[in-house]
Amino acid sequence: MLEEAYDAGVCIEVIEHLTPRMLGKLVDGLAKVSLPDSLWLFNTACRTM
């Protein structure tokens, strides 16, 4: 569990591996440790077939 407060972060190629429930928990957790006006960047692989 993170005990600090953060103003920014990056999640690189993480969210495509999460279930919707896990993604919700991630977002809730980030909200708890985020300072006001925080910026979180997410990316995911772009796969087209």
Enclosing domain of residue 20: 6-43
Bridge partners, 8 (sequence order) = 39
User: What tokens appear for 35 in the block?
Assistant: 């300072």
At 46 the pLDDT is: 72
At 45 the pLDDT is: 81
Domains held by the chain: number? 1
Query: How large is the C-alpha radius of gyration of the chain?
Result: 12
Asked, for residue 49, whether it belongs to a domain, the answer is no
Asked, for residue 48, whether it belongs to a domain, the answer is no
pTM here is 0.76
At residue 2 the predicted structure's pLDDT band, cuts being 50, 70 and 90, is low
Asked, for residue 39, whether it belongs to a domain, the answer is yes
Asked, for residue 27, whether it belongs to a domain, the answer is yes
**Chain segment 6-42, per-residue pLDDT in tens:** 999 999 998 989 999 999 999 999 999 999 999 999 9
Asked, for residue 30, whether it belongs to a domain, the answer is yes
